[in-house]
Amino acid sequence: MSKPRIGYTTRNFTLDPMQLAIDLSIRMAGGVPVRLRPQKPRYDESIKGLIIGGGTDLFPALYKDSPKVDYQYDQARDDMEIKWLERTEAEALPVLGICRGAQLLNVSRGGTLHVDVSKVYENAKYPANIIARIFFRKAVNIECGSLLEKILKTQRIDVNSMHSQAIDEIGRGLTVSAKEDNGVVQAIEDPDREFFMGVQFHPEVLIYRACFRCVFMRLIEVAKKA
């Protein structure tokens, strides 16, 4: 069977380290990566799976909240990703949301976000320095029977932390599949879809561990059927 083309969304930056990590993750899992960015959204039918990557905060009006002062949002990217999500919903294509992407999956289903997770949960002040973020790890608890548990084959695992926002009210048709000890949502999924998952952590920079490579491998398996 030919390798499925997997679209992955990024900022407009020419070179983005996280973009390269997602690109590599797709290739290692047996897919063909297709970069999607506001300047080149590529709305073509050859793409059989979607990964919405991390980046800037979602524009708060999408979930009826107020914009932060002096913050540079990327509404062009928001619009592009929402259009892609509409297509995946219509065609039941596999979708993986990473960090910002997980938040967008939730918002697209009518859910909301915590604008500053440290003000809502105890012990939720994570490293702000990029170097510290790379090496920081925290434990998450995975729901028994969830797709995430079936993929990672564990109910507790250490993940990275590169976010300041988090999911609040859960969107339509979604369930929480992982949380931190303090209650911060770390993964959501649609149990009625074969693969519709959002993770608050970044599995693309954890692919040195086989279990995280399996997240991308499962997405590719489902994309081959599309």
Q: Which residues are catalytic?
A: 99, 202, 204
* Cα–Cα dist 51/88, whole Å: 11
Which class for 132: exposed (0-12), middle (13-18), buried (19 or more C-beta within 10 A)? exposed
As a whole number of Å, the end-to-end CA separation of the chain is 12
Q: Can you spell out the DSSP letters for 134-190?
A: HH--EEEEEPTTSHHHHHHT-SEEEE----S-EE-SPPTT-EEEEEETT--EEEEE-
Cα of 96 vs its chain's centroid, Å? 5
Spatial separation of the C-alpha atoms in residues 178 and 155, rounded to whole Å: 9
CB 10 within 8 A of CB 56: no
| DSSP character at residue 118 | G
